[in-house]
Amino acid sequence: MFKIVKRRDLNPTVTLMEIYAPLIAKKAKAGQFIILRVDEDGERIPLTVAGTDKENGTVEIIFQVVGASTLLLNQKHEGDYIADFVGPLGEPSEVEGFKKVCVIGGGAGCAIALPVARALHANGAEVTSIVGFRSKDLVILEDEFKQVSDRYVLMSDDGSVGEKGLVTNALEKLLLAGETFDRVICIGPLIMMKFVCLLTKKYNVKTIVSMNPIMIDGTGMCGCCRLTVNGKVKFACVDGPDFDGHEVDFDECMNRNKMYRDWERKKYDDTCNLFKKEVK
Amino acid sequence: MPAKFNMRPTKNEMPSQDPKVRAHNFKEVALGYSEELALDEANRCLHCPNHPCISGCPVNINIPDFIAKIKEKDYEGAYQIISKSSSLPAVCGRVCPQESQCESKCVRGLRANMEPVGIGRLERFVADWHMENNKEKPAKPQPNGHKVAIVGAGPAGLTTAGDLAKMGYEVSVFEALHKAGGVLVYGIPEFRLPKTIVQKEVESLIDLGVKVYTDTVIGRTITIDELFEDGFEAIFVGSGAGLPKFMGIPGENLNGVYSANEFLTRTNLMKAYLDNSETPIEHAKKVAVVGGGNVAMDAARCALRLGADEVHVVYRRDIAEMPARKEEVHHAMEEGIIFDTLRNPVEILGDENGRVKGIKVVKMELGEPDASGRRRPIVVENSEYVMDVDCVIMSLGTSPNPLIKKTTEGLDTNPHGCIIANPETGATSRVGVYAGGDAVTGAATVILAMGAGKTAAKAIDEFIKNKK
C-alpha cells in the first residue's frame, strides 16, 4: 500500500498527488513513468512522474479525470492509500547537451512536459516553453513553468488567457521569425503531437514526443503499448515513451487508443452513477 | 500394512466438468480425486525397488514413499514427504506434463495398453487435502544470519526461496507485478490452476519467513548491484521469459490483435472475465489463435469462455507436432476449439475503423526435417484464402526481457537474450548471481523452472558456506 502524502487540485479536473515511494523517488528521472492501481480490484494505469522529493521519499503525479480509474483516484484524500505504485518505468528523456530547446505542452500533458523542461533548464539549456489549454480555468503549473523557462508562451483555444490559438501557431510564429532550436520536445494529446511534428518536419527541427498508448504491465511483457516507429514495432513502455516524432505512426496509435473507448465510456458513467447514488 | 495391489491396467479417471458447461465458465475443469479414488489409485503402485519414477521428476520427489502414506490414509504424512522436495505441490500436480516426466518412467505403464500410476493426480490430492485440513502454520526454521535476494516470484524464484528459507536463510523475493506467482497468476488460466491455490502456496512460503516485495522491478526500482550493497550475499534471477514475439506481418497493429501474454494477463491477472472488472478485454465472436503451444491452448480456451462462437487454432505444422500437452489439446477439442493446422497467416486484414475483420492464411505442407528434427513446413503455392475473424491472438513464444541484462554489468547472455548459467549450479558470469528457469532456457515448463530453482538453492547454500 502506498500513502498519499499530499494532494492539491490544480484545476477542476486536474489533481496533483505526492505518493510516499522512497525507492522510486531515489531513482526516477524526467520522462519516466509509474503504473498504479487505485485499489485491490483496480486496473493498472500509467502516469508520468511529475517530480520527486528524494529527502521526503515522495513521487509527484498529476492526473486528469478522464475515466473510471482516474475518477476513483480523485476520490482519495491526503492520508489515504492506493494499492500499487510501481516504477520508475521507461527510458528517461534525453536532457543533456542542448543549447536551445523548445518544450511544448498541451493540456494535462503539461504535467509531463514540466519535469523535462526543469531537467533541461538545470542542465543549462535555454528553454522556450509553449503551453496550450482550451481555456483560462484549465491552465495548470504556470508558475512552475515560468521558473524553468527563459521564454514562456501561453496559448488558449478560446483566447480567454494568453494568446488565442494553438501551440502550433505559436511555434510557427517563432520559426518564421528565424528562431532556431536544437530540438523540440512535445508532450500532449496525440493529435497535437502529430501536428507539431508535421510543422517541425517542414522546418527540419528534430522533435521528440512522449507517446501515451494503452498499457497493462509497463515492463515489456505484453506488447499492448506497441507502436510503429520508422517502420519497426516498438514497445513504448520499454523502448520509450520518448520517440523521434518524425518517425512515429500517429494515426495508428490514435486508432489503437480508441480500442476500448465504448467500454471506458460506459465504465465511467457507471462509476459516476455509483457516486451519485452514494450522495443521495 | 497388508499389501493390497490393484492390478487394473488403467488410471482412475479424474472427475471433470462437462465440456459443454465448462466451455462457458472459468471454474476448474478437472475436479480432483475423492479419497476413495485416491486410495484405489495409490494401490496401483507396486513399490518397485528401483522406483524409476523418482528419476523422471525434475525435483526428485520420493514418489513411492508418499504413495505408501496415502495407502495408510496418512495424507499429512504424504504431504510432508512431497514438501521435502517440492515447494508448490498443488501447482505441479495440476500443470506438470507428467506423461513426459515421472509417469513416463512408471513400470505400470511400460506395456502396451497399460497406463502408469496417476502420480500427478495423487500429488494434487495430497496437496489439496493438506490445504483443506491442515491449518497449522509450519515452524519457522532457525535463522542462519545470511540474506539472499530472489528476482521474480514465478515457479523458479518461489522454489529457490522455499528451499533457502527451509535452510535458515533470510529470503526476500522481488516481483515486478502486483501479485506473486509469475506465469502461475498471469498466464495459466483459472480453469487449469485456480488462483486461490497459487495464493495459498505463496502464503505458505511467507509462513516460512520468506518476504515478498511486489511492485518492485529489478533493473528499474533497484538494480542487482544495489541489492548486493544492501547486504544480500547471493542473488537468484528467475525473471522468466516474458517478452512476446510477433510475426512481423502486415496488420499486426490493428485493433483486435493481441499477444497471448496481453490477452492472458488481462484475463487472468486482471480478471477481465469478471463483469465488474476495471480492466477491459475484447469479447470477440470469431477468434484466431496463432501457434500450437500450451499458451495457445490457454488463450483459445479463454477466448471461448469470454463468449466467442468460434475459436480457431491456426498452426503451421500438423497436430502431432504441436508442442502443447496432449491433455490440453484434448480438452480444447472437447470444448469445441477448431484446429486449422498446416496453415500460416500472411496478413491481418482491417476494416475502415482499423479493426480486424479477417486473417489471410496460406496452406502448408511438411517437407524434410529441419535442424530441430521436425519436418519443415513449406508454403503450398496459390493456396491463399481469408478466414473471417474479429480477433487474432499471437501465441508464437516469448523470450527473456532484456532489462536485467541491460542494467547489470558483467552478466552474460546468449544471442537469444537468455542468461548463461552453469546447468549444474545455476551460477552466472557474475560471482554470487545465480539464474534459472525461463530466464536461462527460454520459455519452458513450470517444473523445469522449479528444478532449476532447487539446483540453484543448493549451489547458493554452498557458495555462502564456502565464502567464510
> What is the tens place of the pLDDT at every residue in B180-191?
999 999 999 999
Burial class (CB in 10 A: 0-12, 13-18, 19+), B74: middle
Q: Which of A32, A217, A238, A248 to mutate to test the interface with B (most CBs of B within 10 A)?
A: A217
Mean pLDDT across B66-84: 95
> What is the tens place of the pLDDT at every residue in B370-408?
877 778 899 999 999 999 999 999 999 999 988 888 889
The residue written with cell numbers 485499489 in the block is A39
B246, B265, B354 ranked by CB distance to A255: nearest: B354
HEC profile for B407-433? HCCCCCECCCCCECCCCCCCECCCCCE
Identify all chain A residues contacting B253, using CB atoms and an 8 Å cutoff.
Answer: 226-228, 233, 252, 256
Query: Chain-centre distance of CA B400, in angstroms?
Result: 15
**A and B: number of Cβ contacts within 8 A:** 106
What phi-psi label fits residue A230: left (phi over 0), alpha (psi between -120 and 50 degrees) or beta?
left
Cell numbers linked to B416: 537469444
What phi-psi label fits residue A220: left (phi over 0), alpha (psi between -120 and 50 degrees) or beta?
left
CA distance A259 to chain B (A): 6
Give Cα separations from B94 to B31, B65, B88, B113 (angstroms).
10, 20, 10, 24
At residue A182, the pLDDT reads 95
Q: Do the chains contact at A221 and B353, CB–CB below 8 Å?
A: no
B215, B259, B276 ranked by CB distance to A86: nearest: B215
- Rg, Å, chain B Cα set: 23
CA distance B262 to chain A (A): 5
Search chain A and give the residue with CA nearest B356.
A259
User: Looking at B40-49, B91-100, B266-275, B308-317, which range is the least confident one?
Assistant: B91-100
Q: Is the CB of B250 inside 8 Å of chain A's CB atoms?
A: no
B220, B244, B278 ranked by CB distance to A69: nearest: B278
Identify all chain A residues contacting B258, using CB atoms and an 8 Å cutoff.
Answer: 224
Q: Quote the crossing angle between the two packed helices B155-166 and B446-467, to the nearest 10°.
A: 40
Cell numbers linked to B334: 472437447
Q: Do the chains contact at A223 and B259, CB–CB below 8 Å?
A: yes
Give Cα separations from A269 to A14, A266, B6 (angstroms).
19, 5, 62
Angle at A85 between CA A81 and CA A88, to 5 degrees: 145
At residue B6, the pLDDT reads 87
Q: Do the chains contact at B242 and A220, CB–CB below 8 Å?
A: yes
HEC profile for B263-310? HHHHHHHCCCCCCCCCCCCCCCCEEEEECCCHHHHHHHHHHHHCCCCE
Q: Do the chains contact at B178 and A86, CB–CB below 8 Å?
A: yes
Q: Is the CB of B466 inside 8 Å of chain A's CB atoms?
A: no
Please tell me the pTM assigned to this model. 0.93
A44, A221, A238 ranked by CB distance to B261: nearest: A221
Identify all chain A residues contacting B259, using CB atoms and an 8 Å cutoff.
Answer: 222-224
Identify all chain A residues contacting B270, using CB atoms and an 8 Å cutoff.
Answer: 43-44, 216
Q: What is the mean pLDDT of chain B?
A: 93
Cα A234 to Cα A185: distance, rounded to the nearest angstrom: 19
At residue B2, the pLDDT reads 47
Identify all chain B residues contacting A84, using CB atoms and an 8 Å cutoff.
Answer: 178, 214-215
Band the pLDDT of B3: cuts 50, 70, 90.
low
Q: Which residues contact A275 (CB under 8 A, 6 or more apart)?
A: A71, A75
User: Looking at A21-30, B20-29, B226-235, B307-316, which range is the least confident one?
Assistant: B20-29
ipTM of the complex: 0.92
Q: Do the chains contact at B266 and A216, CB–CB below 8 Å?
A: yes
At residue B468, the pLDDT reads 66
At residue A214, the pLDDT reads 94
Search chain B and give the residue with CA nearest A85.
B215
Residues of chain A with pLDDT under 50: none
Q: Is the CB of B199 inside 8 Å of chain A's CB atoms?
A: no
DSSP annotation of A3 reads E
At residue A280, the pLDDT reads 59
> What is the tens place of the pLDDT at every residue in B222-237?
999 999 999 999 999 9
B214, B246, B277 ranked by CB distance to A233: nearest: B246
A24, A256, A263 ranked by CB distance to B280: nearest: A263
Search chain A and give the residue with CA nearest B400.
A221
Single-letter amino acid, residue B160 = T
| Strand, helix or coil for residue B30 | strand
Band the pLDDT of B1: cuts 50, 70, 90.
very low
At residue A116, the pLDDT reads 95
At residue B402, the pLDDT reads 87
Identify all chain B residues contacting A25, using CB atoms and an 8 Å cutoff.
Answer: none
Cα B151 to Cα B147: distance, rounded to the nearest angstrom: 13
Identify all chain B residues contacting A22, using CB atoms and an 8 Å cutoff.
Answer: none
